[in-house]
Structure 1
Amino acid sequence: MNAMQPETSPLPANVPGAPPAPASAAPCPDCAGKARTSVSEQYVYAIGQLEVRFPSLGIEREYQQRECALREPGARARGARICSVLERNPHLAMRMSYIFLIDGMPAYAINPAGGFMKDALFEAVAGCDEQAHFCVLVGRTGTFAAAPAHGGLLLTTVSADQLYNFSLSEWVEGLTRSAQPVLESRKIDAAHFDAVARNLFRDTSRTPENLGATEGHRALNYLLVQHPGIFLAAAERPGHHLAGVETRVHQTVGGRRHVIVILAFVDRATGVAERLYCTVDVTEEWPFVVGTEASTSALGLAPFVDSAMYAVG
């Protein structure tokens, strides 16, 4: 699939805070307000997989000793063994290197935002050996991580506020349940929908350019895991293929940031393209679908008509 990629931009590092000024040199309230809003947080909504590494030889040797002390069978997968050791040894869990992979390539160094992330992190570690196991990383970018702590990799850190874990089969089952009323009303075969959804998810999500950091990529990734519209549209058009994905960022009057995700389905026989869209609010860390009167269904996509005006002559 030769899908066009959403816009990309470099990931900015967080600006370190300056030391507090003396009381006599404190800025006026107006200036302080401008300073607080001058640096905005960079959010991430990425789809990938987790990899665990030992940051040093000492940590690796300590892990090996704790693993031997557990006296558990060694036939299990590596991820399951590591998870078992880390659950029983919090001092190791806090020091391991957690790397987020996108299409098999290291993309981010993960720093859990708090203890509430423990269960999700362990679940991701346990499934790290399974090719059909995926994670959705939701968080905020920080500075570059120290290279020695991550095997020499210079990666942007992400403070992870949420980590969704799912297998491809679990994802398809949930997607089918949410779309069941539409599948029945439009007489779409469930097996056909399953096959289309799996192929489209792999083709669209596993691209190294999609780091889930730009507004366009965040909106697209959100739709892939939270909204069945893309997959319903593809399943309803067996003679078409998804030829392109376009995103357009729009700032509303109220200051919120909306991304219009436009998909072009091309008829294989005639070459005629049909364009459908969905609008996603990406103002805050967790995106959501924006309802419009033009939407034909809460689960579907609406026809896209380009109303841009161009000067001629």
Structure 2
Amino acid sequence: MNEQTEAMDQLTNAPGEANNVAVAQQSPEIRTMSAAISPQTGGGGTCSCGGEVELTAGSSMVSYVYAIGRVEARFPNLSAEKEFAQATGRADTAGKTDQQIFHAVLSKRENRYLVRQLCWVLTIQGLETYLLQPRDPAGIDLLVEAIRPAPTPNDIDVVIGLRGPIAPPQMCNGLMVPIVLFDQIYSFNRDALIKAIPKPEKTTEEQFGPAAEELFNRIMQMTDNAGATDEHRVLNYLVMRYPAIYAKTVEEFSKDFSLTGVEVRSSPLSSTRNIVDVIFAYTNRNTDFTEKFFVRVDVTEEFPFLVAKMSPYYDR
């Protein structure tokens, strides 16, 4: 399976998918479930940390995260670094770059204990934003997949999970950022993602590619998008899972309209559910006439999902 196909599968077949009628929703148990982040004891999927941190999903200290950034592995202490060096000495390293060796050592099944010893940091726009912990031991494989043997500036990691308290200084060599217990990580290349988005009819690659990239960059550059607020979670969800926003942007560009605004508002339909409207504004380059379109999304639980497809929006 090539990179474009993998990116498209992630865009259309993952939890919270926009076009899937039977969207997987978070189970009711999440409000009472407790998860512990504790030092590695040899059997779980958590890192070797200092003190134990209790994280209760229903408490006020936890919120949902839908973040887009880059996953990096760090050594929490000198002991872990020396142990990794010993494992590297047993590997075939001739002719490989340091990054290729790092990836090869972590990928070996017998070295999974090293993966659990490392600190896993999500950086967003170059800033260290979260420390990652899997809620399930199988999440270890997702962390390894996020480490590329040949990384590029266009690599993307999408992290979905629960945001907990600030990490204690002994957890990752003094780094004190919020902990995220993740349920899913998607790792792919931005160019492959854009190429995998279905193009509208009568639209060429030369038209679609730059328009899709501009929309993606516009949302990624919005201030302080750490994926922890409802506004940022829904924007990140749409840019990763809802191809219609790209098609609409290309259509408006072809009509000589510019993308002039992206706004998130609480929906009038919000009552027992947390529903938001995302409004896209396009302004004609010659007449300054503005057209608005919106999409409605439910962000009540961990996985956002589509409520209403993109439609014209009228100011009230």
Question: In structure 2, what is the Cα distance between the partners aligned to 1:106 and 1:228?
Answer: 29
Q: 1:76 to 1:251 in 2, by over 3 A?
A: farther
Higher helix share: 1
Match for residue 227 of structure 2 among 203, 208, 212:
212
- Aligned counterparts of 2:183 and 2:95: Cα–Cα separation in 1: 33
Contact 1:147-1:155 at 8 Å conserved across structures: no
Question: How far has the Cα of 1:37 moved from its partner?
Answer: 6.5
- Give the deviation of 1:40 after TM superposition: 8.0
In the alignment, which residue of structure 1 is the partner of 2:3? none
Deviation, 1:231, is 1.2
- Report deviation, 1:208: 5.3
Aligned to 1:86: 106
CA distance in 2 between counterparts of 1:37 and 1:133 reads 33
Q: Which residue of 1 aligns with 2:89?
A: 68
Q: Structure 1 residue 103: deviation in Å? A: 1.0
| Counterpart position of 1:57 | 78
State the match for 1:112 in structure 2: 134
Other-structure match for 1:304: 313
Larger mean CA deviation between 153-162 and 263-272 belongs to 263-272
Cα gap change, 1:74 to 1:150, in 2 (>3 Å): farther
Tell me which amino acid in the other structure corresponds to 2:86: Q
- Aligned-partner Cα distance in 2 for 1:37–1:116: 23
Report how far residue 252 of structure 1 moved: 4.3
Q: Is this contact kept in 2: 1:103–1:207, CA < 8 A?
A: no
The 5 A counterparts of 1:214-293 are: 214-238=229-253, 239-250=256-267, 252=269, 255-291=272-308
**1:77-134 deviation line (CA, Å, top 9, x unaligned):** 51x4223212331221111011101111111110111122122211101268321110
Are the counterparts in 2 of residues 105 and 208 from structure 1 also a CA contact under 8 Å?
no
Work out the percentage of aligned pairs sharing the same amino acid.
32
Q: Where in structure 1 are there 5+ consecutive unaligned residues?
A: 1-13, 18-35, 296-300, 308-313
**Match among 137, 141, 159 for residue 159 of structure 2:** 137
Tell me if the contact between 1:215 and 1:249 (Cα under 8 Å) persists in the aligned partners: no
Q: 1:165 to 1:222 in 2, by over 3 A?
A: same
Describe how 1:198-209 pairs up with structure 2 within 5 A.
Answer: 198-207=213-222, 209=224
Deviation for aligned residue 1:175: 0.9
How far apart are residue 221 of structure 1 and its match?
Answer: 0.6
TM score, norm. by length of structure 1 = 0.76
Q: Secondary structure at the match of 2:203?
A: coil
Closer/same/farther in 2, CA of residues 198 and 73 from structure 1, 3 Å limit = farther
Report deviation, 1:217.
0.8
Normalised to the residue count of structure 2, the TM-score between the two structures is 0.75
Residue pair 1:246, 1:261 contacting (<8 A) in 2 also: yes
Say yes or no: does 1:125 pair with 2:142: no
TM-aligned CA distance change 1:277 to 1:253, over 3 Å: closer
Task: Pick closer, same or farther for the CA change 1:39–1:147 going to 2, 3 Å.
Answer: closer
Q: CA RMSD in A?
A: 2.6
Residues in 1 aligned to 2:66 and 2:293: alpha-carbon distance in whole angstroms: 23
Which structure has the larger Rg over C-alpha atoms? 1
How many positions carry a matched residue from both structures? Answer: 260
Q: Structure 2: where are the runs of 5+ without partners? A: 1-30, 35-56
Contact 1:240–1:267 under 8 Å retained in 2? yes
Asked if the contact 1:54/1:96 (under 8 Å) is kept, the reply is yes
**Structure 1 residues 155, 259: CA separation in 2 closer, same or farther (over 3 Å shift)?**
same
Structure 2 CA distance for partners of 1:207 and 1:73, relative to 1, 3 Å: farther
Closer, same or farther: CA 255–243 of 1 in aligned 2, 3 Å: same
CA separation of 1:147 and 1:240: change in aligned 2, threshold 3 A: farther
The answer on whether the counterparts of 1:56 and 1:149 sit within 8 Å (CA) in structure 2 is no
